[in-house]
Structure 1
């Protein structure tokens, strides 16, 4: 990545401080200046990131030139079946779909190309004294305390816990005592913000007797088999079945709350009429409403109406009975989530298309198809408009260099207000990072993270001629319902560090880290199989 700094992929507000993650580091800002940086240690023994090893069979390696391979264990044994092998050798990293088009291997998506695990999600407690981060490659949830040393705010790591599956979304309960973690296998877990000591955890855990370790005895023996092949199979079976079983799973305190049958994408905690709820979204177009802890097994209902994946949901704090959702569809959806009723939809595609047309000219604009939408962020704020406070919804889309604002009317409609064009693709937004929790001030500010590595409008092409004055963090403010740019964050730019992705494949690796939502879209034939 040479001289350009890696962009910030996620951000949160902690009181008057801005917590922003770029690559495998977390920066802490206050008053527009960088106070400190936390760096994730590299995985032990990992060194530089390497691609996943290809899985090949010994049979394929014996003879790549011949179309078939015949293996004889013994001349006295019955002849074995011939196995047909591809003449082109082992399969490469791409697979071919039914329509003959090549598609990327999904295993490549987890690679970020960094020396240390990348930070993929951030959350902060209501009291603004703890920060929770997820590092993706090692599936670890890390808890930090914000401390002050010599007048400088810093992040002090208190704990790290490796989850059974990779978390993709996290949040913290209103009492700041519990972390709620959703993973890509559809499970939602709860774990204490501050973990108990190992001795206390052992005392609280219920005692379960160890299962019997009676050895397995195969029904076959040397007298009932008639070939060398079956004899070798019997020997292998005896060796494998009598191996001691290894205990698997996390040893720290955690509890399974609920589960989906599809990959989870977002999670929101909310309260309505004195009752707590957990609202989750998944890849299979579902929005599920469950009761809060400890009754999370009770499903209150679903919000059904999306035809593509749901990537983001938002419950306005001043109107908690409503929910705004977006994902791979061309519209934003507005729900009364308690009853599951869809109230209205707002067109988003026409505004995204208007922005993206500027980046496709000549023959490209005639041959290229309409842009596909993947909503990457939905944010709520209350702003002054015509001397009255109004509800505003801000939306960002993956790979689109713009911010879209909508007015949430009293009639429960989303009215389009403005398209704010950015110098780079929008990655994350934090509302009012310098004014605490009060978002009703008419001078409310926004901090927008933009991609300074990829070309605007592209998720794969490197921005080699990027303007040196393009900063990764830019400041905006509302003025009579309109967003105007106010300035930038002067972020220092080192030449190289642990957070940078460098090398010939840097662009592709950064694409995997910054742009993963489009991978949720089901391909042709995949939806039919389900």
Structure 2
């Protein structure tokens, strides 16, 4: 038996838990499995594409090139010149010494899954609708929680393919609008419920773009004087006269704002009478924009990170604060409205203490103390601590088998509370949340999704057979000011599908889906985002 497929992302509303594993979405209530939705394969949907590309492009920017050879019958082939973009850069490049150099940004060309993987989830405040992003087809799918003949299931209401692959989701407080950010830096709004207008031509609902003016080479047959130049002219005409096929979405969607860098996270905040959209990107920026309909107004920035910002979180009981983390060694606490950095908290020291227990010499020659960290999750809850309710911030890092708990003090500082060691690398965490608007749930239970396919502290090495039956969803509770294992609560996991994460090399196929944030880190010679 192969290890169970881990859950890469989760959301919860009240006692309803929605969790995505690969291309499937499971729904739970009070620990019981209610239903499983499976994404149809690309081939089943009628696609002619031969294989799936990388399922997550949250952190992978593929620079695409094509070239045209200019030559004559008697002369050697000329140097290739980049003229347009049509195909992906190959994962392996050849160095001057003739050795192949692995490109870490494209180390998994295929996900190994038969259908597009779910890379982001969101849920409305009333828990009625679930929104999911399936990566390879760039689609936003909306589901409704329905119960038919006493059986609960997720009913898909719509599927909308976006121009670029979405990487982050949020839903407005009135549960009517989806806010989505993509890897090219754009933020769009879409109505939650897709309104179909039958018989309406595309031109009636969308303003057609003016036709692109075809390129005319400056040279012609009268100005060239060699066979080589004649061949070059023919190549120019053949390449530039091709009309680019550009299909725009036919459903309602509005561009709200844009970054010049890859977006990584988004948060919607209401402060006073005004709404805000807070966005984070790869270029160390946290941007504060006004909410709809004034999203073009930039209120300010929170500047201070020296590495990418991967996660932001606004504590529900202190909406004027923002906790952020990413590739830096610390967590940052901001008064985001004025862009003021209030405090920092060390994170790398606690991560290094955990990683000291694992032998990583086979994976890397870099000492544990000098290795980088990447924050994969920041979660806030309120718990009883020292005879009062305190704001607890729980943080996870990529490929680290632990969660780190901090107390957000009255002075807006993060004070270390506990390191919760896990039986697998942490992937996602959910807390109970209230169904009533304006009410913050203080449920003391948290569910942690762990990686069941890779060894602890590793993103490449597979687990041993002894841990193949490990439950990918672990339950914990706050008790006496600490987080402890909840032995009385067990989540019923769906039956393993045939071929799901099966066979040798399973971890390699899932690595890019589960561990992609470290690729956000800029390296010397990296191309800047366009």
The TM tier, using the shorter chain, reads 0.7 to 0.9
Q: Quick check: 1:301 aligned with 2:262?
A: no
Mapped contact 2:104–2:519 kept (Cα < 8 A): no
Cα distance in 1 for partners of 2:95, 2:260 equals: 24
Counterpart in the other structure of 2:11: 12
Deviations, residues 293-347 of structure 1 (Å, cap 9, x unaligned): 1111111000011111100000011100000000111111000000101010011
Aligned length: 507
Alignment of 1:72-151 (within 5 A): 72-73=72-73, 79=75, 83=79, 93-95=91-93, 102-108=101-107, 111-151=110-150
Per-residue Cα deviation, 1:30-73 (whole angstroms, up to 9, x for no partner): 121111100000002457647899989797xxxxxxxxxx9533
Distance (Å, rounded) in 2 between the aligned partners of 1:525 and 1:213: 34
Change (3 A) 1:510 1:25: same
Instruction: Tell me how far 1:435 sits from its aligned partner.
Output: 8.5
Gaps of 5+ in 1: 60-69, 85-90
CA deviations 1:91-120 (Å, max 9, x no partner) are 973347999994525244564221000000
For the residue of structure 2 that corresponds to 1:489, the secondary structure is coil
Contact 2:129 2:143 in 1 (8 A): yes
SS of the equivalent of 2:27 reads strand
- Aligned residue in 2 for 1:384: 384
Change beyond 3 A, Cα 1:492–1:411: closer
The answer to whether the 8 A contact 1:17-1:433 is kept is: no
Alignment of 1:186-225 (within 5 A): 186-199=185-198, 208=207, 211=210, 218-225=217-224
Q: Structure 1 residues 362 and 510 mapped into 2: Cα distance closer, same or farther (>3 Å)?
A: closer
* Counterpart check, 1:272 vs 2:271: yes
Q: Equivalent residue of 1:326, what SS?
A: strand
| Structure 1 contact 4–493 (Cα < 8 Å) conserved | no
Residue deviations 1:15-42, cap 9 Å, x none? Answer: 3210000000000111211111000000
Distance 1:444 1:26, change over 3 A: same
* Alpha-carbon distance, 1:446 to partner: 0.5
**Is contact 1:471–1:489 with CA below 8 Å preserved after alignment?**
no
Contact 2:132 2:140 in 1 (8 A): yes
Deviations 1:197-253 (A, max 9, x none): 134875996664674698766554433322333334444555555555534322211
| 8 Å contact kept, 1:18–1:433 | no
Partner of 1:248: 247
Aligned equivalents of 2:134, 2:50: Cα separation in 1: 17
Find the residue that maps to 1:195 and give its secondary structure. coil
Aligned partner of 1:496 in structure 2 is 497
Residue number in structure 2 paired with 1:335: 334
Report the Cα offset of residue 523 of structure 1: 1.1
Q: Quickly say closer, same or farther: Cα 1:362–1:523, change in 2 above 3 A.
A: closer
- SS of equivalent to 1:359: coil
Unaligned runs of 5+ in 2: 56-61, 81-88
Q: Post-superposition shift, 1:83?
A: 5.0
Q: TM-score, normalised by structure 2?
A: 0.86
Q: How large is the RMSD of aligned CA atoms in angstroms?
A: 3.4
Q: Secondary structure at the match of 1:197?
A: coil
Larger Rg over CA atoms: 1
The corresponding residue for 1:482 is 482
- What do the CA deviations read for 1:272-305 (whole angstroms, capped 9, x no partner)? 1110000000011110000001111111000011
Equivalent residue, structure 1, for 2:59: none
Question: In the alignment, what sits opposite 2:348?
Answer: 349
SS of match in other structure, 1:306: coil
Q: Which moved more, 1:386-395 or 1:287-296?
A: 386-395
1:419 is aligned to 419
* Cα gap change, 1:309 to 1:24, in 2 (>3 Å): same
- The aligned counterpart of 1:462 is 462
SS of the residue aligned with 2:522? coil
The structure-2 alpha-carbon separation of the partners of 1:160 and 1:342, relative to structure 1 and needing over 3 Å to count, comes to: same
Give the whole-Å Cα distance in 2 for the aligned partners of 1:390 and 1:366: 41
Counterpart contact for 1:110–1:513, Cα < 8 Å = no
Distance change in 2, residues 1:203/1:439 (3 Å): same
1:227 matched to which residue of 2?
226
Change in 2 beyond 3 A, CA 1:468/1:322: same
Q: C-alpha distance in 1, partners of 2:236/2:101?
A: 39
TM-score, length basis structure 1: 0.86
Partners of 1:182 and 1:3 in 2: CA distance: 35
